[in-house]
Amino acid sequence: MAVVERAKIYEGTRIPSPIPTVLQVDPKLREEGDILRVNFGPNHPSTHGVLRLVVDLNGEHVEGLAAVIGYLHTGFEKSMEQKSYWKAITYPARIDYVSFQMNELVFVLAIEKLLEIEVPPKATWMRMLMSELTRLHSHLIWLGTSALEIGAISMLWYTFRERDAVLDLFEMVTGVRMHTRYFQAGGLAEDIPPGFAAECARFCDLMEKGIDDYETILDRNAIWLERTRGIGLLSAEDAIALGQSGPVLRASGVDWDLRKAAPYLAYDQVDFDVPVYPNGDVYDRYRVRMEEMRQSVRIVRQALEAMPDGPWIADDRKVVLPPRHELHTSMESLIHHFKLVTEGYLVPEGEVYVATESARGEMGCYLVSDGGSKPWRVKFRAPSFVALEATATCMRDALIADLIAIVGSLDSVMGEVDR
Amino acid sequence: MSYGAVPGFVAEKEAYGETTVVVERERLLEAARWFRDEAGFDFLADVAAADYLGWGGKGVAGYWGHRNGRDINAPGSWGLPRTPEAKPNRFSVSYHLLAIRQGAPRVRLQVWCDDGDAVPSVVPVWPTADWHEREAWDLMGIRFEGHPNLLRILLEDDWEGHPLRKDYPIGGEPVRFSGEE
C-alpha cells in the first residue's frame, strides 16, 4: 500500500513539543495575562461520554489544550484475567458499546490464534457480515451525534432510523440488540436464523437510500461545509507518528486499511474500495466515513450472496460446547458441557497480538496465556484512545467553536478510551 | 528478515506467526530508532506491559472476601499440559510495531525489567507512545525514563498502587468515604 498523494496542508510537523499530546501556551502570551483557562467537560453532551479538555483560551483562539481521560475506567483488563476465556468474551463488547461486535471479534480471533483451531467458512463469512453491520451501526451513531453537535439536529433522527434497523437484524440473529456475544472461540454461538438473508437484503436497500438522504442533507449544506472544511488539520506524517488509524488516517491521505493490507476473515474474497481523501480536515473524515458506509453495504450484499452452507462452529469438543440436544442422551457431551462451563477450555501458552480494522481504526488485542483456562494478560489497543492523542495537534490554531467539531470528527468512544 | 543487527539484540523468537525481538533495556532507544529508520517500522501500534509475578506457580491475585486470596490459576482437574516457560524478569514491555507498506509486516519489540527499573521512553521515536507509556505507568507501574509527562492517566493522581499488577487484589481499591470518617 503506497501512500497516495500526501497532503501538503502546511510545512513541517504540528505535533506539540516536548509533550506530543499537550498543547502548551506560549509563555509570552501567559505573561500578558489574557489567557482564560476553561474546563470543557467531563460532563458535556458533545464529549461522547466523559472527556475533559482543559482549554487555554485567548479570546476565541485555543492556545493550550490537554485532554484528561479516565472518568470511565472500569478495569476491564483486570476483570478479564479473573474469568475463563469463554466468560471473558462478554467483556470486550462492553468496552466499545458502539462497535461491540468488532471488539468481540478481535478477542475471539486472538483466542483462536492461540488455540490454532479451524473456523468453518460459514462462521467466517457471518463474522464478516456482522462486523460490517457493526461498522454501519458505529458510523451511523457517529454521523448522527457529530452532526447534532454542530447543529444539524435532524440528522440524528435519520441516522437512528437506520441504526434501529441494524439493531433489529442483530436481535433477529442473536436474540439481543447490543452486546450480543455472538462470536465464540471456534465459530458462532447459533446458526443464522431462517429469513435473515431476505431481511438483511431489505436493510441494504434501506441503508443505501439512507446514505443518499444524509448526503443530500449535508454535502451541500453551507453551514456544514463552513464548519468542517479546513478545520482540525492533520497531515499524513503527523497522523502516522501519532499512531492514528482508520478513517482519521485515511482522511489524511494514507491509503491504509487492514482489511486490504493484511486481510483477515474473508476480506480478500470480496470486492470493496478503500476511500482515501487528501486534506486531513473534519470534512474529509466525514467523507471517508460516508464512503465506508457504502462499501460496508457492498460487502454485506456480497457476504449474503456468498454465504456458505455447513456447520457454524468448529467440531472440537474440548473447546466448543456440545449441541444442546446431545446433553439428554450422551454422557460424554454432558461431561464436556460441565467442564467447559465450570472450568473453561485450556489455551496453549504463548503471546499473540491480533489487529483488526474496527470502525475507528486498528483494534488490537494482546493476549498472553500461561496454558490455563484464564487469560494471563489481556491488553486492548483501543483506536479511540489513540485518536484522542491527536486532539492537541488537530486543535492548533483552532477556535473554541471548532473544538466540538474536531473532537467529534476523531470519533472517540470514551468506554474504549478508558476501558 | 533477521534481526541480529538490532542494537542491544538479545533474542529473537518466532511463535504463532509473530516475531518477537527482545533487546537490552538500556539500549531500547537505539533499537527503536533502528526499527523506525532502518527497518521502516514507522507505526507504533501499541505498548503493552505484562506482569509475570507468580507465573507458572499459584495465582497471587486475591478475590472478594478471602483472607488468603483465591487461587485463580490453580491447574484444573484436566491439569496444565506443562509448566510454562520461565521468564527472565517480572515485567515485560512489548512494543507492537507495524510498517505501513505492502504486506503490513509486524514485529514485537520487547524488553524485560523488574520492579523499580527504568525503561527508556520511546516518545522521541514514536510520539504516539506518550499515552501508551502513561497507561503502562499508571496500571502496571513501569517507570519510563525520559518521558516528558509521566503522570497517571486513567486513575486519579493520588491513587495508590498499580492495579494491573498481579499482587494488586481484586476489590482492593481504597474506600473513599466510609462511615467512620
Grade residue B76 by pLDDT with cuts at 50, 70 and 90: very low
pLDDT average, residue stretch A125-145: 92
Contacts of A234 (CB under 8 A, 6+ apart): A14, A242, A244, A248, A251, A252, A280, A390, A393, A394
Please write the tens of the pLDDT for every residue from A390-401: 998 888 888 888
Of the candidates B44, B101, B154, the beta carbon closest to that of A69 is on B154
Average pLDDT of every residue of chain B? 81
Distance CA A324, CA A337 (A): 9
* Model pLDDT for residues A327-345, shown as the tens digit of each residue: 889 999 999 898 888 878 8
What mean pLDDT is predicted for residues A292-311? Answer: 92
Q: Tell me which chain B residues have a C-beta less than 8 angstroms from the C-beta of A377.
A: 48, 50-51
Q: What is the pLDDT of residue B79?
A: 45
Per-residue pLDDT averaged across A188-202, rounded?
91
User: Is A20's CB within 8 Å of B44's CB?
Assistant: no
Instruction: Give the orientation angle of helix A121-149 with respect to helix A100-115, to 10 degrees.
Output: 150
* Rounded Cα gap, residues A408 and A146, in angstroms: 5
Q: Is the ipTM of this complex over 0.95?
A: no
Q: How confident is the model at residue B111 (pLDDT cuts 50, 70, 90)?
A: very high
What is the average pLDDT across A201-216?
A: 91
Q: Measured in whole angstroms, how far is the alpha carbon of residue A21 from the centre of its chain?
A: 21
What span, in angstroms and rounded, lies between the C-alpha atoms of A304 and A10? Answer: 45
pLDDT, tens digit, 9 for 90 and up, residues A264-293: 888 999 999 999 998 888 999 999 999 999
Is the pLDDT at A81 greater than 50, yes or no?
yes
User: What's the average model confidence in pLDDT over A226-242?
Assistant: 87
Predicted local distance difference test score (pLDDT) of residue B62: 36
Mean pLDDT, residues B106-129 taken together: 91
Give the per-residue pLDDT at A25: 85
Confidence category of residue A190, pLDDT binned at 50, 70, 90: confident
> Cis before residue A18, ω within 30 degrees of 0?
yes
Question: What pLDDT does B66 receive?
Answer: 36
Instruction: Inform me whether the pLDDT recorded for B83 exceeds 80.
Output: no
Mutation pick from B126, B153, B159, B166 vs chain A, by most beta carbons of A within 10 Å, is B153
pLDDT for position A342: 80
What is the DSSP pairing of strand A61-68 with strand A52-58? antiparallel
Mean pLDDT of B42-58: 84
Other C-beta atoms closer than 10 Å to the C-beta of A37 total 10
Interface A:B, Cβ pairs < 8 A: 155
Confidence of residue B1 (pLDDT cuts 50, 70, 90): low
Alpha carbon of B51: minimum distance to chain A alpha carbons (Å): 8
**What pLDDT was estimated at residue B82?**
62
pLDDT value at A151 more than 70 = yes
Residue with the larger pLDDT of the pair A69 and A43: A69
Q: How far apart are the first and last CA of chain B?
A: 62
pLDDT at B80: 54
> What is residue A14's predicted lDDT score, i.e. its pLDDT?
82
d(C-alpha B109, C-alpha B95), whole Å: 5
- B130 three-class SS: helix
Burial of A15 (C-beta count, 10 Å sphere; 0-12/13-18/19+): buried
Q: Do A256 and B61 touch (CB under 8 A)?
A: no
Instruction: Report, as an integer, the average pLDDT of A74-93.
Output: 88
Cα–Cα distance measured from residue A225 to residue A147, given in angstroms and rounded to the nearest whole number = 11
Q: What single-letter amino acid sits at A254?
A: V
For chain B, helix, strand, coil in percent to 5 are 15, 25, 60
Rounded Cα gap, residues A40 and B73, in angstroms:
44
pLDDT band at A297 (very low <50, low <70, confident <90, very high): very high
Residue B78, judged by CB atoms within 10 A of its CB (0-12, 13-18, 19+), counts as middle
SS3 B129: helix
Of A353, A363, A378, give the one whose Cα is nearest residue A413. Answer: A363
Report residue A171's pLDDT band, with 50, 70 and 90 as the boundaries. Answer: very high
Confidence of residue A134 (pLDDT cuts 50, 70, 90): very high
For residue A148, is pLDDT > 90? no
Q: How confident is the model at residue B174 (pLDDT cuts 50, 70, 90)?
A: low
Cα A351 from Cα A375, distance rounded (Å): 10
Q: Which pLDDT score is estimated for B69?
A: 41
Higher pLDDT, A1 or A128: A128
Q: How confident is the model at residue A2 (pLDDT cuts 50, 70, 90)?
A: very low
How large is the average pLDDT for residues A29-33?
Answer: 79
pLDDT at A3: 43
Mean predicted confidence (pLDDT) in B143-154: 90
Nearest-neighbour CA in chain A from B29: distance (Å): 16
Q: What's the pLDDT score for residue A5?
A: 45
Best of A15, A52, A78 to disrupt the B interface (most B CBs within 10 Å) is A78
**Distance (Å) from the C-alpha of residue A388 to the closest C-alpha of chain B?**
10
Q: pTM of the entire structure?
A: 0.90
Contact across the interface for B76 and A346, Cβ inside 8 Å: yes
Contacts of range B79-86, beta carbons closer than 8 Å, 24 or more positions apart:
B80/A346, B80/A370, B80/A371, B80/A372, B81/A346, B81/A348, B81/A371, B82/A349, B82/A371, B83/B56, B84/A349, B84/A370, B84/A371, B84/B55, B84/B56, B85/A349, B86/B55, B86/B56
pLDDT interval class at A355 (50, 70, 90): very high
CA distance A296 to A105: 17
On average, the pLDDT of chain A sits at 87
**How large is the average pLDDT for residues B77-82?**
49
Which chain B residues have a beta carbon less than 8 Å from that of A114? 16
Q: Which chain B residues contact residue A70 at CB under 8 A?
A: 152-156
CB contact under 8 A, A373 and B100: no
